Amino acid sequence: MFRRSLLALACTAVTALATTGISTSAIANTDGLEELRAELARQNTLITNQQKQLEALAGTVESTPAVQGSNATTIGFYGEMHFNNRDDNDPIVGENNIHLHRFVIFLGHQFSDNLSFKSELEFEGAPDSTSIETEVEQAYIDWKLNDAVSLNIGQFIVPIGLLNETHEPDAILGVERNPVEEFIIPATWWEKGIMALWQATPGLALDAAIHNGLNGQGAGGIASLGTADGLREFRQEFGGARAEDLAYTLRVKYTGMSGLELGATVQQQENIVQTDDILFGGKAPATLIEAHADWHWNKLGLRALAARWEIDNALAKTNGTDRLEGFYIEPSLKVLDNVTVFARYNQWNTAANTSGLEDSKQVNIGANWWIHPRVVLKADVQDSNQFAGDGFNLGMGLSF
């Protein structure tokens, strides 16, 4: 390209020289020679100016924001469809149900090497509803301060458990998400605030976040605890969130050995009802402790997680709903390169201090078949001591 440019410029100079009308006889005398020298100097100046203009134009193109951003904006997606069969004839859901469960769009933009924006817009349907719930799951800036420290500012996923941050359908086993993380943690769970992420050493990370807390006023306050949904209805998922009382989350995660992840989280909520009003049960500080392990070796896999909430509130203690807890264990085996079978035992209780209340228990056994690394077909059978809990599930999921 550079040689072609020089050739073009040279041709321009020769053409200009040819058009000056200088004759050979003129060259033969002194006046003609001086005229030729002057013309060559003029053409040399012209070439130099053209070269400067081309260099300036190239610099302008390289620094144009539209060109810089042409590959900086990214779009992603994940979605899943479920078929659920239940032995119990649920009058609301019915014995058989099929629904497009999730349709999630990711939009991100890289402003510079150390500053980016990430967001997720989720459309979610439930088997007992014909409506679609629309949620902004994430919307935050990721600001990399140096190679070890970064800040997330905005609405982000709370760093708790295994499922909360990684829940794409092609990344988890089974059609439905495990009930322990769903009802005890509760996943998926996002809040608004600021989070610092520190890669302390290779394989050891610490995350600390300050964000708005739970708000149980809409669910009926402390009196509503103990239902099957646990604290799910206390999450502030909508755009505006009460922030009279904040929450603080600290997580440590170890990934220093190949195929192994160990993690633990402690969260302190100042008041999960955001008010002292006795109508909602009064002030209710709460603490969540969670620990998990995720191990893969050759064709074997093992996941395990335990979580517990302790709620400091007189009404909750009287009702036996001041503790929520649960655990699950999930061994798996890769029988083919693209087929994994698994079994999962779940046990949980949203009112663990209620006398005589039996823990909820559920067993899932099934398989995932990846027909593409990002597209999966799923099937599992389910046995549970919960109402409408027995049956089987079929699913399809993908992400890109």
| Residue 1: band (very low, low, confident or very high) from pLDDT cuts 50, 70, 90 | very low
pLDDT bin (cut points 50, 70, 90) of residue 13 is very low
- Contact in structure between 2 and 32 (CB atoms under 8 Å): no
Assign 5 a pLDDT band (cuts: 50, 70, 90). very low
Percentage of the residues of the chain whose pLDDT score is greater than 70: 82
Please provide the distance, in angstroms rounded to a whole number, between the alpha carbons at the two ends of the chain: 38
pLDDT at 312 over 80: yes
Residue 102, pLDDT > 80, answer yes
Q: Where are the alpha helices (DSSP H) in the chain?
A: 2-18, 24-28, 30-63, 65-68, 179-183, 314-319
| pLDDT over 90, % of the chain | 63
pLDDT in tens, 167-211: 999 999 999 999 999 999 999 999 999 999 999 999 999 999 999
Q: Quick one: residue 284, left, alpha or beta (phi over 0 = left, psi -120 to 50 = alpha)?
A: beta
- 344-368 tens-digit pLDDT: 999 999 999 887 788 999 999 999 9
Banded pLDDT at 218 (limits 50, 70, 90): confident
pLDDT at 42 over 90: no
Give the per-residue pLDDT at 223: 86
Indicate whether 89 pLDDT > 90.
no
- Give the tens place of pLDDT for each residue, 103-137: 999 999 999 999 999 999 999 886 666 678 899 99
Of residues 24 and 124, more confidence is placed in 124
- pLDDT band (50, 70, 90) for residue 54: low
Q: Check whether 27 has a pLDDT greater than 60.
A: no
Mean pLDDT of the chain: 86
Per residue in 224-245, pLDDT tens? 888 888 899 999 876 778 888 9
Dist CA 334 CA 222 (whole Å) = 44
pLDDT at res. 90: 58
pLDDT, average across residues 293-310: 98
Is the confidence at residue 8, as pLDDT, over 80? no
pLDDT of residue 252: 99
pLDDT at residue 215 above 80? yes
Phi, psi at 177, each rounded to 5°: -65, 150
Q: Are 343 and 380 in contact (CB under 8 A)?
A: no
Q: Which residue, 326, 347, 327, 234, is CA-closest to 280?
A: 234
Can you give the three-state secondary structure of 243-294, one letter per residue? CCCEEEEEEEEECCCCCEEEEEEEEEECCCCCCCCHHHCCCCCEEEEEEEEE
pTM tops 0.95, yes or no: no
Give the number of other CB atoms < 10 A from CB of residue 158: 25
